[in-house]
Amino acid sequence: REKNCKEIWKAFKNSFISKDPCSITEEDYLPLMKLTNQTVPCHQTLFWSKIPTLARQLFQDQRKVFSLEDLLLGSITGGLTWCGSRGTSEMNYQSCPDWRKDCSNNPVSVFWKTASKKFAADACGEVLALLNGSIPEPFDRNSIFGSVEILNLNSKAVHLLQAWVIHDAGDSSFPRDSCLSSSINDLKSIITERNIRFTCQKEYRLARKVFPAHGPHLPSCQILM
């Protein structure tokens, strides 16, 4: 309520309008970051990787944890793609560079990396990370979680990272003990080397929400951990 939306919109646009959409830098977004400054109380930061905005829905009734998308900064862009280009002040929502195919320094990727970096650096106490247990590598070093967020946690302020590997109990094609998988082990090493305690648990209780197609058919005993 105390933020100035017009000013925020202007700062957002100025970050990339009339600029080469492959040469965006963190600095371009700093004025926007300053205006939207907002922090999450200790013990209430939620990260997610490979389970898109579902993470948000999972906790929406409780409001005990907040992901980046719950903050003003993370909600501005609402799943959109955007860019500008040299020589015009037009906003482009249709065809913008892709971070894999075209260039990594595009407005969307730089926005999320800059926002995620600050979000992680501001976290304190115990933090929660939701990972997808239905894919072979629930932890991906190249994801924003793996390459930006965990590396920017302040190890003086964050003392525990709890990983919840969300499983579809109806799917037996992946090893049950995903907490012991090499991908989670990589995450564990990175976190513990940074002097942050690490725990991992398999979560079946959330499966109904994450995998609605299978959820209704799960026997209730499998839903319990």
* CA-based nearest residue to 133, from 198, 218, 56, 202: 202
* In the complex, least distance from residue 222 CB atom to ligand ZNA, rounded to whole angstroms: 25
3-state secondary structure of 199: strand
In the region spanning residues 144 to 173, those forming contacts with ligand ZNA, defined by CB under 6 A, are 144-145, 147, 149
| Residue 219: partners with Cβ closer than 8 Å, 6 or more residues away | none
* Residue of the chain from 15, 45, 105, 109 that contacts ligand ZNA (CB under 6 A): 109
**Distance, C-alpha 181 to centroid of its chain:** 21
* In the complex, least distance from residue 24 CB atom to ligand ZNA, rounded to whole angstroms: 12
Token digits of residue 44: 């209430």
Q: Active-site residue 124, yes or no?
A: yes
Is 14 one of the binding residues for ligand ZNA (CB under 6 A)?
Answer: no
Contact in structure between 134 and 49 (CB atoms under 8 Å): no
Is 112 one of the binding residues for ligand ZNA (CB under 6 A)?
Answer: yes
* In the complex, least distance from residue 109 CB atom to ligand ZNA, rounded to whole angstroms: 4
d(CA 141, CA 138): 10
Q: Which stretch binds ligand ZNA (CB under 6 A): 61-69, 150-158, 171-179, 203-211?
A: 61-69
Cα dihedral 209/143/183/71 (nearest 10): -50
Give the binding-site size for ligand ZNA (rule: CB under 6 A): 20
Q: Active-site residue 42, yes or no?
A: yes
Q: Which residues bind ligand ZNA (CB under 6 A)?
A: 47-50, 52, 67-69, 74, 99, 104, 109, 112, 116, 142-145, 147, 149
Catalytic residue IDs: 42, 124
